[in-house]
Amino acid sequence: MIFTVAIDGPAAAGKGTIGRAVAERFGFRHLDTGLLYRAVGVIGGDPVAAARGLVPADLRREGLRSLAAGQAASRVALIPEVRSALVAFQRRFARAEGGAVLDGRDIGTVICPEAEAKLYITASPEVRARRRWLELGGAAAAVLAEVLAEVNERDARDMGRADAPLRPAADAVVIDTSAMAIDEAVRRACALVAARLGQA
């Protein structure tokens, strides 16, 4: 069976948590596509060469989850040649036999417009910054302000870029998790996938 779940949305909206839970529930493979851009940003040097030469071990590099890696990722993600170098791998992953969940920014719009289930996960910037801050260890209040600034800067760059800007696909189901526990968001995401699989 070929079945793709596309999960897009702004920084720290909960895409990864929801993506992993959906993949586990349905026995699908999961790809966090942000790691591709984070790895290209962390490798440094010529980003186009880094994207073209990316190998699976690069997705397990140290420090990929840091704020600095997120910033580096959103900068290299502006470069059309970087994006195009990563398309084939993502498409193959999405359409291989067995079902796949991909989370990112352009999965439902560019990478896999034919995805059988599309979700756009969002939340207010303050809620998303607080979640990312807790993930990073929840240090002093000043650090929360830094995370909020980082999230806002990255969202503006991701939404404003010319190539594959962040936006919901016309046929995506939007879930705003600002006032929602993550379990509820997972439940809704699973319900959509089940319905699209004809299991509902």
Tell me the window of 55-63, 101-109, 112-120, 191-199 that interacts with ligand CDP (CB under 6 A).
101-109
Closest to ligand CDP by CB, 4 or 74: 74
Contacts of 177 (CB under 8 A, 6+ apart): 13, 14, 121, 122, 123, 127, 185
Q: Does 11 bind ligand CDP (CB under 6 A)?
A: yes
Candidate residues 18, 23, 38, 101; the one interacting with ligand CDP per rule CB under 6 A: 38
Give me 158's structure tokens.
């991701």
* Phi then psi dihedrals of residue 167, to 5 deg: -165, 155
DSSP state of 57: G
| Residue 185 · residue 14 · CB < 8 Å | yes
DSSP state of 60: G
4-8 and 100-104 beta bridge pairing: parallel
User: What does the per-residue mask of binding to ligand CDP show for 77-96, with x meaning CB under 6 A?
Assistant: x-------------------
Contact status: 158 vs ligand CDP (CB under 6 A)? yes
CB of 128 to ligand CDP, least distance (A): 8
Residue 176, CB-side half-sphere exposure with 13 Å CA sphere? 4
Residue with smaller CB distance to ligand CDP, 129 or 190: 129
- Candidates 19, 34, 47, 108; binder of ligand CDP (CB under 6 A) is 34
Counting contacts by CB under 6 A, is residue 108 touching ligand CDP? no
Q: Which residue is nearest to ligand CDP (CB)?
A: 34
What value, to the nearest 5°, has the Cα angle with vertex 107 and ends 105 and 110?
Answer: 100
Sketch the per residue contact string, 171 through 200, with ligand CDP: x for CB under 6 A, - otherwise: ------------------------------
Within positions 53 to 72, which residues make up the interface with ligand CDP, using CB under 6 A?
70
